[in-house]
Amino acid sequence: MAASSSKKSGTHSAVLIPGDGIGPEVIGAAREVLDATGVKIQWVEGAAGESALKTHGTLLPQETLDAIVKYKVALKGPCTTPIGGGHKSINVSLRQGLNLYAAVRPVRSIDGIKTRYTDVEMVIIRENTEGLYSGIEHEVVPGVVEALKIVTEKACTRISEYAFQYARGHSRKKVTVFHKANIMKMADGLFLKCARNVAQKYPDVAFNEMIIDNGCMQIIKDPSRFDVLLLDNLYGDIISDLCAGLVGGLGVVPGANIGEAGAVFESVHGSAPDIAGKGLANPLAAIMSGVMMLNYFGETDAAQRIKNAYNSVLASSDPQIRTRDIGGEGGTKDFTRAIIERVKKK
């Protein structure tokens, strides 16, 4: 497991990637909230997405990658990858280019966010570098396309180790691996074998395995039975969004992509160009991702102050300080201001 930064109470450095659409608004809000804690962060702005394509001629400029390599940490807004034209996903390029092998997505029920579920508290750990997302595909003959699912023992073992170390380090009690080894006996079979081998080294953490189609049904029936979920790349992508739907959607969950050399924290929702510039965007996911970044820095007190602040805002009955997507009448600035006021009172 990639160790978090142990540096505290000094000046931290982080690359700030505003992204596209509502990205600059929500990332700007997250920066304001983080700065309000008093934690000193040297922000180095980097470009990515359609905006970078216009200014740099590429979706992911080398200078942005170089900055992340140098400073080890980035806070990223949603970026748009144009459909068609041969453009590779920015997120996939970042994860593979920087070897950010672990995607971490905490999902929990929040007071004030109304859904049919009230007891969701799980973390999705997703292998981030291979599987079907390796992007190796070709047309065998006209009308027949073949895609290769790349699975290696090294990557499967590494992500399994990360999941169990995360569980142990965060006082989690159980890791459940989702797979389809009954059909893909070699590919998913290897993933499952590696998870089983690693599980034997962690007798203090319960281990469970579940065929993914059954797992999807069980999550919907009773999400409270799950704690840490361990999945390959494609399954993790699907399940993390499914679980976000249990607690209110992608706008209320954070995300992180972590490797040995650093980490990129990001709100995983889209760039929502239809509301960009209107002051309507909910910055919560970006702020929560910033909280994960603070914890990575070791600034746990500041992280908790922000968490307490947004919990208070979300529990408030005042509709003017909540954005419309979560039942309020306010905008981005109203929500951000309310959080900052509570952060500064602590």
Task: Please report, for residues 45, 78, 105, 182, the alpha-carbon distance to residue 52 in angstroms, rounded to integers and kept in the order given.
Answer: 12, 13, 26, 44
Residue 133 appears among annotated catalytic residues: yes
Residue 180 appears among annotated catalytic residues: yes
- How many of the other CB atoms lie within 10 Å of CB of 40? 12
* Type and span of the H or E element at 75: strand 73-76
Task: Please report, for residues 46, 47, 97, the alpha-carbon distance to residue 59 in angstroms, rounded to integers and kept in the order given.
Answer: 11, 8, 14
| Of 245, 247, 242, nearest in space to 231 by CA | 242
| Of 99, 130, 89, 106, nearest in space to 233 by CA | 130
Which of the residues 20, 72, 76, 180 is marked catalytic?
Answer: 180
Q: Is the dihedral of CA 123, 129, 135, 137 positive or negative?
A: negative
Residue 202 makes CB contacts below 8 A (sequence gap 6+) with: 164, 167, 168, 175
Partners of 258 in the β-ladder: 102, 263
Helix, strand, coil percentages for the chain (3-state, nearest 5): 45, 20, 35
Task: Please report, for residues 39, 80, 339, 341, the alpha-carbon distance to residue 344 in angstroms, rounded to integers and kept in the order given.
Answer: 12, 34, 9, 5
Which of the residues 101, 133, 166, 296 is marked catalytic?
Answer: 133
| Of 230, 240, 235, 237, nearest in space to 195 by CA | 230
Which of the residues 237, 296, 310, 334 is marked catalytic?
Answer: 237
Task: Please report, for residues 62, 89, 95, 104, 319, the alpha-carbon distance to residue 231 in angstroms, rounded to integers and kept in the order given.
Answer: 30, 20, 16, 11, 38
CA distance 323 to 332: 7
Which of the residues 66, 111, 119, 213 is marked catalytic?
Answer: 213
Task: Please report, for residues 27, 173, 299, 300, the alpha-carbon distance to residue 9 in angstroms, rounded to integers and kept in the order given.
Answer: 23, 31, 7, 11
- Name the residues annotated as catalytic: 133, 180, 213, 237
